[in-house]
């Protein structure tokens, strides 16, 4: 029987109402939301359940909200299936913190406070309007990297930020750099270039101030060795030692998210089932484009999808 990996979504998966029905139905999930409210000193649960959407979309709120909802879903799962351990865990950008909580490397209260700070630092790193991100569709990775290098050399920094799936790469950097690289990518045969509605140039060198501040925060957080290998965004390889985990979280702020490579690596290790834990189905969509059609991909975000997972027998 193939191995199971748990994967956790990142920014962009949020929606008003997330986690509410689950918290009503699961005491374990409800406790996670209560712990988040207590750790942060305001009602994050109310923001998740009721919005308003414009507040939920602020990076400093989105990051702890998605982490909390993901860990609430995980808690509900563990309540029903306490002994199951996945072969690997991984998360997309912010989702890496959820993966580390799942691997017992980070305490949830520490994680939720850290990602709240991370979101604030990322918002503050670049003045509004000076940075940008865009998704480039159907362009070879090496060719797009060459375009970014050329534009950066001309004085407008831009780089590969999210290597999400075959045919979907996000670029990030200065507003002018992203615009120029997008134009060159189209001229070189990219199918489409879609500007992203984000508050900053995430996973680019312009995020260095955020990385420096995050390093100071993580220095005060207890990080344990992971009990399950965590496939890191920065290397697409597992990290388990506490020091390596901290390094990868700091590097991750300015480095590309190697999601396609991470999924590919897990498939090569024998993973045949991916369980996306948290709001939305973004990762399931990406994994479908990376893994073979025989791979089982399940998104769990409420009691119905959790029941479906448990009845499916993949966690035996």
User: What confidence category does residue 152 fall into, taking pLDDT thresholds of 50, 70 and 90?
Assistant: very high
In contact, 284 and 297? CB cutoff 8 Å? yes
CATH class of 131-198: alpha beta
User: What confidence category does residue 199 fall into, taking pLDDT thresholds of 50, 70 and 90?
Assistant: confident
The answer for residues whose C-beta is within 8 angstroms of residue 304's C-beta and 6 or more apart is none
Q: Could you give the percent of the chain with pLDDT greater than 90?
A: 95
Question: Which residues on adjacent β-strands are paired with residue 194?
Answer: 135
Half-sphere exposure of 149 (CA within 13 A, CB side): 6
CATH class of 3-125+206-311: alpha beta
Q: Where in the chain is the domain with CATH 3.30.70.250?
A: 131-198
Q: Report the C-alpha dihedral over residues 282, 91, 112, 56, rounded to 10 degrees.
A: -20
Q: Report the C-alpha dihedral over residues 116, 121, 123, 128, rounded to 10 degrees.
A: 170
Q: Does position 316 have pLDDT exceeding 80, yes or no?
A: no
The answer for residues whose C-beta is within 8 angstroms of residue 146's C-beta and 6 or more apart is none
Q: Where in the chain is the domain with CATH 3.40.366.10?
A: 3-125+206-311
Pairing status of strand 271-277 against strand 296-300: parallel
Mean pLDDT, all residues of the chain: 96
User: What confidence category does residue 314 fall into, taking pLDDT thresholds of 50, 70 and 90?
Assistant: confident
In contact, 230 and 249? CB cutoff 8 Å? no
CA distance linking residue 59 with residue 63, whole number of Å: 6
Pairing status of strand 230-231 against strand 3-8: unpaired
User: H/E element holding 169?
Assistant: strand 168-174
Return the CA Rg of the chain. 19
User: What confidence category does residue 1 fall into, taking pLDDT thresholds of 50, 70 and 90?
Assistant: confident
**What is the reported pLDDT for 313?**
83
**What is the reported pLDDT for 315?**
86
Pairing status of strand 131-137 against strand 230-231: unpaired
- Tell me, yes or no, if 43 is annotated catalytic: no
In contact, 195 and 152? CB cutoff 8 Å? no
Q: Of 172, 203, 248, 262, which residue is the catalytic one?
A: 203
Supply angle C-alpha 300, 259, 194, rounded to 5.
95
Q: Of 13, 45, 93, 204, which residue is the catalytic one?
A: 93
This prediction has a pTM of 0.96
In contact, 123 and 207? CB cutoff 8 Å? no
User: What confidence category does residue 35 fall into, taking pLDDT thresholds of 50, 70 and 90?
Assistant: very high
- Tell me, yes or no, if 174 is annotated catalytic: no
Q: How many other C-beta atoms can be found within 10 angstroms of the C-beta atom of residue 135?
A: 18
pLDDT digits (tens, 9 = 90+) for 73-123: 999 999 999 999 999 999 999 999 999 999 999 999 999 999 999 999 999
Mean pLDDT of 288-310: 95
Total residues found in the chain within this entry: 316
pLDDT digits (tens, 9 = 90+) for 235-293: 999 999 999 999 999 999 999 999 999 999 999 999 999 999 999 999 999 999 999 99
């Amino acid at each position: 029987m193939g191995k199971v990996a748990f994967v956790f979504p990142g920014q962009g998966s949020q929606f008003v109402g997330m986690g509410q029905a689950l918290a009503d139905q699961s005491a374990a999930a409800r406790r996670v939301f209560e712990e988040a409210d207590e750790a942060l000193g305001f009602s994050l649960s109310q923001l998740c359940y009721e919005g308003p959407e414009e507040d939920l979309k602020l990076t400093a709120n989105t990051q702890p909200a998605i982490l909390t909802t993901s860990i609430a879903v995980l808690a509900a799962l563990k309540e029903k299936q306490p002994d199951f351990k996945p072969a690997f865990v991984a998360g997309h950008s912010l989702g890496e913190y959820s993966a580390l909580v799942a691997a017992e490397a980070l305490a949830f209260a520490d994680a939720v406070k850290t990602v709240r700070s991370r979101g604030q630092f990322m918002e503050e790193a670049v003045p509004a309007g000076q940075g940008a991100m865009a998704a480039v569709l159907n362009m070879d990775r090496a060719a797009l990297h060459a375009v970014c290098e050329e534009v950066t050399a001309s004085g407008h920094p831009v780089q590969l930020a999210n290597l999400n799936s075959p045919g979907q790469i996000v670029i990030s950097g200065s507003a002018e750099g992203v615009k120029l690289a997008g134009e060159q990518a189209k001229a070189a045969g990219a199918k489409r270039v879609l500007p992203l509605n984000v508050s900053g140039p995430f996973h680019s060198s312009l995020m260095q101030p955020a990385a420096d501040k995050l390093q100071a925060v993580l220095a005060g957080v207890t990080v344990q060795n992971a009990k399950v290998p965590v496939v890191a965004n920065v290397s697409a390889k597992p990290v388990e030692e506490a020091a390596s985990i901290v390094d990868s979280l700091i590097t991750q702020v300015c480095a590309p998210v190697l999601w396609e490579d991470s999924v590919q690596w897990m498939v090569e290790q024998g993973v045949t089932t991916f369980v996306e834990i948290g709001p939305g189905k973004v990762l399931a969509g990406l994994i479908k484009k990376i893994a073979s059609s025989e791979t089982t991909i399940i998104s769990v975000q409420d009691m119905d999808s959790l029941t479906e997972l448990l009845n499916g027998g993949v966690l035996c």
